[in-house]
Amino acid sequence: MKRLFLAIATTAIFALCVSAQKIGTTAPTMSAKQPKVAFLPLMFQEGDRESDNKTAIAAYESSLFDAFSKLGMERLGPVVNFAWRELKGSIFSTTAFELPDPANLVKLGQKVGADYVVVSRCKWNVRSVWVGVGPKTKATAKVDIWIVDISKSEFALKADGIESDSTEKEPGWKTAVTIIILPISVVSGGPKTPHLVRSGQLSVAKGIKPWLEKMQTPSKIRIGGG
């Protein structure tokens, strides 16, 4: 099992070419080293307001971050936020709930020495109906995940509008995804938090799956000039 994981992780690190879409000019080629990934602050909404559900947010972050750490990547720290402020003159706003200009993600990655820059947002909607003697709750999570390959100035992954609900069955993942993605929570009953957790985790897994498996190679779409 250990050899299988190492083989999958090694392949994923050095052959990440999923959903390549050009973003402006090409950056210098990445050297053979431990890849570094820069995450902009993740964005979360519940309904039309910024979410403050710490449990659901933490579960989403862990699912996304863990995929990169299991691939042997180093996640950069506060330097990412400082660099964004230098580039844009202000901190990255999570309350605006807007995805940034991809060209700025390339500039950010070059500035901090990252191999990949990741930005993601998740919008939850919760619905509860009374069934029998108690409430029946369902949460949906609509997710966007962008992974930008800085050495190529391309989208390594551009997953938009990935949606899951907390009551749907977990898909039959392939081996690479099963090993790298955290187990998906199981929920039942009324309280909304477990439903937020499960729907978010499902959407992360669905969104990042093509990148992990390197199964898609659509035509390149240039963003910006050059």
Q: List, for residues 43-76, the tens digit of each pLDDT value.
A: 999 999 999 999 999 999 999 999 898 888 999 9
Q: Looking at 121-125, 147-151, 175-179, which range is the least confident one?
A: 175-179
Residue 225, in any domain of the structure: no
What total of structural domains would you count in the chain? 1
Residue 29 has a pLDDT of 46
Q: How confident is the model at residue 207 (pLDDT cuts 50, 70, 90)?
A: very high
Q: Residue 105 sits in which domain range?
A: 2-213
Contact 129, 87 (CB under 8 A): no
Residue 226, in any domain of the structure: no
Residue 224, in any domain of the structure: no
Residue 35, in any domain of the structure: yes
Phi, psi (rounded to 5 degrees) for 163: -125, 140
Higher pLDDT, 37 or 222: 37
Strands of the chain, DSSP E: 21-22, 36-39, 43-46, 49-50, 74-75, 116-131, 134-149, 154-165
Q: How confident is the model at residue 18 (pLDDT cuts 50, 70, 90)?
A: very low
Residue 59 has a pLDDT of 94
Strands of 33-179, DSSP E: 36-39, 43-46, 49-50, 74-75, 116-131, 134-149, 154-165
Contact 215, 15 (CB under 8 A): no
Residue 188 sits at the vertex; the CA angle it makes with 182 and 194, to the nearest 5 degrees, is 50
pTM of this structure? 0.79
As a whole number of angstroms, the distance between CA 1 and CA 15 comes to: 21
Residue 136, in any domain of the structure: yes
Residue 223, in any domain of the structure: no
Residue 134 has a pLDDT of 72
